């Protein structure tokens, strides 16, 4: 019996549908608090909004017909466009992946800003891709030929990650539907799912399992997040065939150890497997199956306790290097062993962005401050540092040793991290606010306006966070309304003073918690939060004397052209740290007769820098 048919039976059992008269599936099992939609959160003038603007300028610079070229050629349609370069060039197996990220980024911007250039570009891309899909006549849509999938099914290698690319295309089209209501895009996703379903139904269980076995270095059979996009599709369609198809992309060899809380991450390609966990998380939300919740939460605990650097992201050299890349980057190492992994190619940007997605899933399920802490740390110290503040270019890796430089990708590289970052920086308004039936959670301090339509509340946030420790909120309502404003107090906070309408509140403020302000809010009510910052040091898990410096939420980087060697002990180092008078966001460390200058990692651009320093008293 084919595995596909067995999965279909599982789909029926899980959904308890009993017939093909299916409807929309439940899509929020176990979710305690929900993120606001992209159109409800508006970024206002700030350095974060500037980062989005740089990304938007890059998106606008790309000619859609060049992105469409390989799709048209593959479909047998004429194209006069100049092919793109890098990983989107006509002979590269991953061609087409960036188009998927492009669709997702345009969808986010179109949802937020309405009818504008992003909306017009998105509609054009969907219409032209529809012509390509129609030309194939069987639901297929890609920039590479169908024979690549045949090679994968028969040889399991020799072709570069075709399902990885199909996932990006499907996700981009699904985002166009979810965020902008484009029904043509939804039909295209369903047609492509039917195409994949037809291929998988012809494969024996053993062949599917072999296709999903990705323990080798840099696996060419990387499937991307096919499971996640198909579970999301099922959450919309309620079609058990979508559930069954998604289950085919859940590898038991990886899932079951995570359920048992067994850390098998060492040697695995980080981004290949991290996105599978996001798929497990999505499966839990649409089916309520507890084992997938357990797998995702256990994975997160393993990752954060034994595999991440100080900025909450991971990936580096493989313990057993069998490829050039695995010698320096993209893999997880032995649990808790990080001090000897600081190559120039650690902390892959794709991994950073997908880690944030997992942080968001788990926060939504629990409302727990520990996930909000992880999200904030990675947002300021992992996500924002991957982009040049002057050009908008992105890095593939974010090195954290010393001395290091950010190696920015060229506009025509179109690497995986070009696509992931382009999409992520179009969504910088996500993760700031969540809600339940009676409360707004403020998880990030970013200048923005929240439009809570259900309660007819407008909440404006201003301030210079994180460089400045004060944040202000103004409530606008037509008539008084009751709700709880839950202010996140991060773990790093040495304290905070909260005022409402100028009066300081006499309430205990605990680090790593949400401070609830429950009241009847009236128009013009003001809230101010003044955080107390302090310097702190965070060591490698396996080397106490290798450490990084934080000031409040900010991971600091040494301005360094040589390895950073410090003297004394931790207490002496902390005593030597101070702010530079008259220079916001600039710091100095006086240590061992030397003076080191430091700045936030997100503020480093072309300069040479170092994050981890080593104490050597000899």
Q: Sign of the CA dihedral 581, 584, 590, 595?
A: negative
Which residues, 6+ apart, have CB-to-CB distance to 400 below 8 Å? 309, 310, 311, 342, 346, 347, 548, 611, 612
C-alpha angle 441/446/450, rounded to 5°? Answer: 55
First to last CA, the chain: 68
**SS3 call for 50:** helix
- In this prediction, residue 18 carries a pLDDT of 31
C-alpha angle 426/125/123, rounded to 5°? Answer: 80
Pairwise CA distance, residues 362 & 297, whole Å: 7
Number of alpha carbons in the 13 Å side-chain half-sphere of residue 14: 29
* Nearest CA among 541, 545, 511, 550 for reference residue 381: 550
Q: What is the mean pLDDT of the chain?
A: 95
β 439-442/481-489 pair status:
parallel
- Rounded to 10 degrees, the C-alpha dihedral 311/312/314/319 comes to 90
Note whether 107 and 176 are within 8 A (CB): yes
CATH number of 434-465+470-531: 2.60.40
Pairwise CA distance, residues 126 & 398, whole Å: 34
- Those residues of the chain that have pLDDT short of 70 are 1-27
- In this prediction, residue 3 carries a pLDDT of 44
Note whether 140 and 195 are within 8 A (CB): yes
- In this prediction, residue 28 carries a pLDDT of 75
Pairwise CA distance, residues 369 & 514, whole Å: 7
Token pair for residue 132?
């390509």
Q: Give bridge partners of residue 441 from the DSSP assignment.
A: 434, 486
* Nearest CA among 60, 86, 94, 97 for reference residue 172: 97
Pairwise CA distance, residues 372 & 442, whole Å: 10
- In this prediction, residue 243 carries a pLDDT of 98
- Identify the helix (H) or strand (E) that includes residue 279: helix 270-287
* Nearest CA among 97, 67, 93, 61 for reference residue 82: 67
> Global pTM?
0.95
Tokens 């309408």 correspond to 501
Concatenated DSSP letters of 522-553: -TT-EEEEEE---EEEEEETTEEEEEEEEETT
- In this prediction, residue 1 carries a pLDDT of 39
Domain ranges of the chain: 1-12+38-249, 434-465+470-531, 535-615
Residue-wise pLDDT for 330-348, tens only, equals 999 999 999 999 999 999 9
β 481-489/513-521 pair status:
antiparallel
C-alpha angle 174/177/181, rounded to 5°? Answer: 175
Question: Exposed, middle or buried by CB within 10 Å (0-12, 13-18, 19+), for 582?
Answer: exposed
CA distances from 368 to 76, 485, 488 (A): 52, 16, 10
Phi, psi of 228 (to 5 degrees): -65, -50
Which residues, 6+ apart, have CB-to-CB distance to 295 below 8 Å? 255, 258, 259, 277, 280
Note whether 447 and 49 are within 8 A (CB): yes
* Nearest CA among 298, 271, 274 for reference residue 217: 271
**SS3 call for 453:** helix
Note whether 530 and 469 are within 8 A (CB): yes
In the structure, how many helices (H) and strands (E) does the chain have?
A: 18, 21
- In this prediction, residue 15 carries a pLDDT of 39
**SS3 call for 500:** strand
CA 557 to chain centre: 23
């Amino acid at each position: 019996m084919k595995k596909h048919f067995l999965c279909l039976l599982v789909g029926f059992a899980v959904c308890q549908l009993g017939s093909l008269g299916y409807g929309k599936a439940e899509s929020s099992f176990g979710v305690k608090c929900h993120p606001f939609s992209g159109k409800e959160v508006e970024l206002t003038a700030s350095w974060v909004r500037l980062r989005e603007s740089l990304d938007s300028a890059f998106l606008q610079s790309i000619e859609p017909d060049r992105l469409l070229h390989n799709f048209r050629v593959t479909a047998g349609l004429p194209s006069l466009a100049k092919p793109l370069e890098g990983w989107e060039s006509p002979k590269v197996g991953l061609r087409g992946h960036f188009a998927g990220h492009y669709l997702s980024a345009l969808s986010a911007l179109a949802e937020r800003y309405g009818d504008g250039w992003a909306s017009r570009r998105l509609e054009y891309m969907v219409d032209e891709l529809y012509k390509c899909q129609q030309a194939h006549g069987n639901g297929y849509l890609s920039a590479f030929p169908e024979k690549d999938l045949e090679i994968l099914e028969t040889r399991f290698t020799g072709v570069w990650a075709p399902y990885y690319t199909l996932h990006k295309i499907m996700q981009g089209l699904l985002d166009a539907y979810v965020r902008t209501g484009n029904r043509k895009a939804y039909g295209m996703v369903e047609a492509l799912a039917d195409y994949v379903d037809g291929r998988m139904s012809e494969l024996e269980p053993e062949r599917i399992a072999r296709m999903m076995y990705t323990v080798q270095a840099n696996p060419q059979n990387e499937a991307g997040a096919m499971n996640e996009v198909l579970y999301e599709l099922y959450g919309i369609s309620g079609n058990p065939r979508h559930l069954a198809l998604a289950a085919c992309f859940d590898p038991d060899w990886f899932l079951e150890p995570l359920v048992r809380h067994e850390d098998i991450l060492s040697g695995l390609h980080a981004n290949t497997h991290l996105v599978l966990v996001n798929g497990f998380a999505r499966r839990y939300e649409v089916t309520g199956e507890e084992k997938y919740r357990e797998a995702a939460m256990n994975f997160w605990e393993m990752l954060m306790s034994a595999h991440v650097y100080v900025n909450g992201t991971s990936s580096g050299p493989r313990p057993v290097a069998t490829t050039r890349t695995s010698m320096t980057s993209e893999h997880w190492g032995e649990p808790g062993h990080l001090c000897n992994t600081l190559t120039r190619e650690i902390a892959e940007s794709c991994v950073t962005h997908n880690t944030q997605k997992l942080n968001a899933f788990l926060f939504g399920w629990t409302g727990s401050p520990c996930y909000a802490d992880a999200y904030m740390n990675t947002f300021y110290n992992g996500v924002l540092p991957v982009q040049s503040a002057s050009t908008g270019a992105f890095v593939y890796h974010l090195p954290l040793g010393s001395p290091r430089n950010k190696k920015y990708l060229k506009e025509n590289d179109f690497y995986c991290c070009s696509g992931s970052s382009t999409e992520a920086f179009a969504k910088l308004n996500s993760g700031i606010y969540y809600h339940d039936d009676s409360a707004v959670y403020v998880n990030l301090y970013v200048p923005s306006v929240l439009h809570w339509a259900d309660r007819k509340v407008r909440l404006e946030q201003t301030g210079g966070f994180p460089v400045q420790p004060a944040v202000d909120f103004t409530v606008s309502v037509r008539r008084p309304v009751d709700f709880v404003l839950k202010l996140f107090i991060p773990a790093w906070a040495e304290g905070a003073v909260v005022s409402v309408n100028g009066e300081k509140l006499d309430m205990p403020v605990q680090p790593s918690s949400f401070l609830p302000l429950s009241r009847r809010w009236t128009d013009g009510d003001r809230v101010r939060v003044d955080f107390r910052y302090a310097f702190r040091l965070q060591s490698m898990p396996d080397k106490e004397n290798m450490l990084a410096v934080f000031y409040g939420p900010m991971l600091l980087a040494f301005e360094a052209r040589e390895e950073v060697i410090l003297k004394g002990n931790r207490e002496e180092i902390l005593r030597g740290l101070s702010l530079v008078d008259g220079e916001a966001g600039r710091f100095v460390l006086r240590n061992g007769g030397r003076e080191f200058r430091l700045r936030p990692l997100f503020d480093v651009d072309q300069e040479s820098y170092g994050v981890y320093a080593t104490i050597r008293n000899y």
